[in-house]
Amino acid sequence: MIPPLKADAFDGRAARFRAACGGIFRVRRGGGSASVVALAVGLALLSVGLGLQGVGAAVTARHRAALAADLAALSGALHVPEGATAACARAGEVARLNRAQLSRCEVIGRDIVLTAEVVPPGPAARAGNAQARARAGPI
């Protein structure tokens, strides 16, 4: 039968081991503070990720608005000789096909000038619509 270890003998061996290793291996009892730090880091990363997602959605909406405005202006410029109504109607069609809306459209001389708007997806919509302006003339 193996005799039970005395607490003093075990503590003495642990102290000798720590002394021999130069104090490299120290047992610290943190009381669970690592979990709190890990939770705080996780929440910070989640917040940064959600913020970047919102910025990405807004930037994407701005690019979509610019694309829709450019294409709508080019399309409308082809129809300027038919009149302002026909040119703006065609530009509006092209904008709708690109998931945008025209908020302004006018023919100035032989040029068409318009503004397209796109609603950003998700929480970025609270910041407002993305807008882009375009101007096109005779081709």
pLDDT tens per residue across span 88-120: 999 999 999 999 999 999 999 999 999 999 999
- What's the pLDDT score for residue 5? 56
Chain position carrying tokens 């092209």: 94
Quick one: what percent of the chain has pLDDT higher than 90? 65
Q: Domains along the chain? A: 56-139 (3.30.1300)
Q: Which two tokens stand for residue 95?
A: 């904008």
d(CA 16, CA 23): 10
Q: What is the pLDDT along the chain (139 residues), one digit of tens a residue?
A: 666 655 555 566 666 766 666 656 565 666 678 889 999 999 999 999 998 998 999 999 999 999 999 999 999 999 999 999 999 999 999 999 999 999 999 999 999 999 999 999 888 888 889 999 999 998 6
The residue type found at 117 is E
* β-strands 130-136, 101-108 pairing: unpaired
Helix residue ranges per DSSP H, 21-139 = 33-78, 84-97
- What's the pLDDT score for residue 96? 96
26, HSE (Cβ side, Cα atoms, 13 Å)? 6
